[in-house]
Amino acid sequence: QDQLQQKIICPGPVTCLTASPNGLYILAGVAESIYLWEVSNGNLLAILNRHYQDLTCLCFTDDSSHFLSGAKDCLALVWNLYNVLQAEPSQIPDPRHVWSRHSLPITDLCCGFGGPLARAATASLDQTAKLWEISSGELLLSVLFDVGIMAVTLDLSEYHMFCGGMDGSIFQVDLCAWPVQRDRTFQTERENGKVFKGHRNQVTCLSVSTDGSLLLSGSHDETVRLWDIQSKQCLKTMNHKGPVTNAFIVLAPANMFNPDGKPSMPLPKFSKHLHGTESSDEPGTEGVTLRLGLHQQEPGQSYLEKADRMYSQMHSTREKNLVGDQEHLTIQVSELEEEVSNLRKINKDLFDFSTRIITKPAK
């Protein structure tokens, strides 16, 4: 049978929504709270309340290890997904970074490639777009425009940043321009060759093709436009019956044009309450819950915690460009090999345990 649509009842209007690139988690912004669901079973894993006003945008890093949130309180927060998942339900984990350099509500977020070492761009009504480094939390670039910025995106190579304005203009900012300045002013009259003109109302969304040649934009003027980045010419205009709120370019899945293609697994209903706090008297709650990382190898340290420590060491080494000390690196490599061996054993034990549960004859 075809997959049935599932209606997810949220406690309020959803202002922003995103899914992790690995397909395991869903994030939704409801008022000033962030809701995190696990897709496979519908469990509500966390409710994060660190913003003071309504959420406006959410996005994941390409490796799904971190996610960013922006809100009307002018703050952009960087969250470590591992810390959020490991926190107790009664505790609200601290974000990894709090970016507070904007003076008006944040309207859009965009994250580049590189996982925790990626760069992220933020757009705001304060007429600026800013570029940040996720690993250190430092501000790399701030560009001032003459209109409020409603949308921002980066091309795949991160040579250009594209910003959509409230007046319908789209600005192309060269990130490798010389001289390098952290604070820059985009003067439209001097940058005529770097402005896309065609929309008659505010630009709400931007997306760049994987080859960096095409730009897709949506606007409140009820149109979606496809642009040639090199010539700044509009190649195609698609009309809609209302304001366009989101549009993006994606790679077509392999079975998209297969008429016989059907979903392999239906999605479960998403829970309304935090995982572990539901009433056990409700029907259908029987089952086995497996929580990874709680097999203790050392007192007070789980396998996931040790893996996170090793992961941090690896990236800290890469960030600081350490060279030499071959003996220390050899020790780290041996520790990592031992960790991989232990995790493989745990994975095999979990597989055997799950197999016994699934194949156990019904009583």
Tens digits of residue pLDDT in 73-121: 999 999 999 999 998 877 888 999 999 999 999 999 999 999 999 999 9
CATH number of residue 228's parent domain: 2.130.10.10
Report yes or no on 9 lying in a domain. Answer: no
pLDDT at 355: 82
* Residue 337 and residue 215 share a domain: no
* Residue 244 and residue 162 share a domain: yes
Note down the domain range covering 170: 14-254
Report yes or no on 23 lying in a domain. Answer: yes
Report yes or no on 259 lying in a domain. Answer: no
**DSSP helix/strand/coil, 314:** helix
Token pair, residue 12, equals 């309020």
Short-list 191, 197, 205, CA closest to 233: 197
* Residue 203 and residue 106 share a domain: yes
CA distance 210 to 62: 14
Report yes or no on 8 lying in a domain. Answer: no
Is the pLDDT at 3 greater than 60? The verdict is: no
Residue finishing a domain among 219, 254, 289? 254
Report yes or no on 107 lying in a domain. Answer: yes
* Residue 225 and residue 120 share a domain: yes
- Count: domains in the chain: 2
For residue 71, which phi and psi values (nearest 5 degrees)? -145, 175
Tens digits of residue pLDDT in 132-151: 999 999 999 999 999 999 99
* Residue 348 and residue 240 share a domain: no
CA distance 23 to 82: 16
Q: Residue 140: which H helix or E strand, with range? A: strand 139-144
* Residue 248 and residue 336 share a domain: no
Q: How confident is the model at residue 205 (pLDDT cuts 50, 70, 90)?
A: very high
Output the CA angle 153-159-161, nearest 5 degrees: 25
* Residue 171 and residue 249 share a domain: yes
* Residue 235 and residue 338 share a domain: no
Is the pLDDT at 16 greater than 90? The verdict is: yes
* Residue 197 and residue 70 share a domain: yes
Is the pLDDT at 290 greater than 90? The verdict is: no
Q: What is the DSSP string of 152-220?
A: EEE-TTSSEEEEEETTS-EEEEETT-SS--SEEE--GGG-GGGEE---SS-EEEEEE-TTSSEEEEEET
For residue 77, CA distances in Å to 31, 59, 102 come to 16, 11, 12
pLDDT at 318: 53
Task: Provide CB contacts within 8 A for 211, sequence distance 6+.
Answer: 156
Residue finishing a domain among 234, 254, 274? 254
Is the pLDDT at 10 greater than 70? The verdict is: yes
Is the pLDDT at 55 greater than 80? The verdict is: yes
Report yes or no on 295 lying in a domain. Answer: no
* Residue 340 and residue 241 share a domain: no
* Residue 225 and residue 92 share a domain: yes
* Residue 127 and residue 44 share a domain: yes
Residue finishing a domain among 200, 228, 254? 254
Report yes or no on 43 lying in a domain. Answer: yes
Provide the whole-model pTM. Answer: 0.73
Tens digits of residue pLDDT in 161-197: 999 999 999 999 999 877 778 899 998 777 767 999 9
Q: What mean pLDDT is reported for the chain?
A: 84
Report yes or no on 310 lying in a domain. Answer: no
Which residues, listed in sequence order, are joined to residue 14 by a DSSP beta bridge? 30
